[in-house]
């Protein structure tokens, strides 16, 4: 395991995501993830499993201070007072007095971004969060968020997998000193049907999932979120630190990007993508 350090935050490069994982599965698999070696756990208010994540962490053998814990505020809670109350509720569910990283989950045009960023800064000043960031922001919103914030914006969590070109967002993140955090790295299963990825996996003696996760974290200041409810796949996903992709292999994966590769773009939430 290695870390990504940007804007004062040191974040494990490989995280365990809990999107669409039920509470029962969270309670079962998160302790296994921590036992395997994961130290970065990602959840969100809208996932409705923060309480299960908190219970799983509390019941694990890994001390809370050794875990990098991320959650996200949902868009309906962006008004300042609602924001503060929702963070307090998240902390109660997570059974902790702080999270390591708090993100705005999606843009919300109905609430001024200055109010959203102000609330992020307020909970940070109160010691409830160590670092702040955003998710699903385009480059214009990234620049605006940084300009509005007293505290550093440490990451933008975005859809990123071999079939989407995020080079424009990545360039902006690098200029702003931010990291990118990749979700949907497996492209909702599409990676497992790709001949190029299968060939690289065979050449490396690894699985396609391992190749994709390695491709993500070999890029500059990019963090990968993996997800599974299977213990065998969990161990496999963590086993990506004993090999490197060649420059040719990295480029071959980049070349898979397609202008129609985006999967996640919900109406009413998605910004004007770069």
Report the predicted TM-score, pTM, of the whole model to 2 decimal places: 0.98
Short-list 67, 32, 26, 68, CA closest to 47: 26
Nearest to 209 by CA among 182, 189, 229, 231: 189
Give me the residues paired with residue 14 across strands.
224
Tell me which residues of the chain have a pLDDT lower than 70.
none
pLDDT computed for residue 207 by the predictor = 98
What per-residue confidence (pLDDT) applies to 205?
Answer: 98
CA atoms within 13 A on the CB side of 4: 25
Q: What is the pLDDT of residue 272?
A: 97
Ordered domains of the chain (ranges, CATH): 3-186+217-227 (3.20.20.100)
pLDDT at 90: 98
| 221 burial via Cβ count (<10 Å: 0-12, 13-18, 19+) | buried
What is the pLDDT at residue 18? 98
Q: Output the pLDDT for position 36.
A: 97
- Structural tokens at position 175: 């200029």
Q: Which pLDDT value is given to residue 254?
A: 98
Q: How many CA atoms lie within 13 A of 184 on its CB side?
A: 18
CB-based contact 149:117 (threshold 8 Å): yes
* pLDDT tens per residue across span 56-110: 999 999 999 999 999 999 999 999 999 999 999 999 999 999 999 999 999 999 9
Residue 47 is among the residues annotated as catalytic for this protein:
yes
The closest of 41, 45, 71, 78 to 57, measured between CA atoms, is 41
């Amino acid at each position: 395991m290695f870390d990504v350090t940007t804007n004062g935050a040191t974040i494990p490069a490989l995280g365990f995501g809990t999107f669409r994982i039920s509470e029962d599965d969270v309670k079962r698999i998160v302790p296994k993830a921590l036992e395997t070696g994961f130290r970065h756990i990602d959840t969100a208010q809208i996932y409705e499993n923060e309480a299960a994540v908190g219970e799983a962490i509390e019941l694990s053998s890994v001390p809370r201070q050794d875990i990098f814990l991320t959650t996200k505020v949902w868009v309906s809670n962006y008004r300042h007072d609602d924001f503060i109350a929702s963070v307090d509720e998240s902390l109660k569910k997570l059974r902790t007095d702080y999270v390591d990283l708090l993100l705005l989950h999606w843009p919300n045009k109905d609430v001024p971004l200055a109010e959203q960023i102000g609330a992020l800064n307020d909970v940070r000043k109160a010691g409830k969060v160590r670092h702040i960031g955003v998710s699903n922001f385009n480059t214009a919103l990234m620049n605006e968020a940084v300009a509005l914030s007293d505290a550093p914006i440490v990451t933008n969590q975005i859809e990123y997998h071999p079939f989407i070109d995020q080079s424009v967002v990545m360039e902006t993140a690098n200029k702003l000193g931010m990291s990118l955090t990749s979700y949907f790295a497996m492209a909702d299963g599409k990676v497992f049907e790709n001949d190029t990825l299968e060939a690289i996996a065979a050449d490396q003696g690894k699985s396609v999932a391992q190749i994709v996760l390695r491709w993500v974290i070999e890029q500059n200041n990019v963090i990968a979120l993996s997800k599974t409810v299977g213990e065998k796949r969990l161990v496999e996903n963590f086993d990506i630190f004993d090999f490197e992709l060649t420059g040719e292999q990295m480029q071959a994966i980049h070349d898979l990007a397609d202008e129609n590769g985006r999967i996640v773009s919900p109406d009413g939430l998605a910004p004007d993508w770069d």
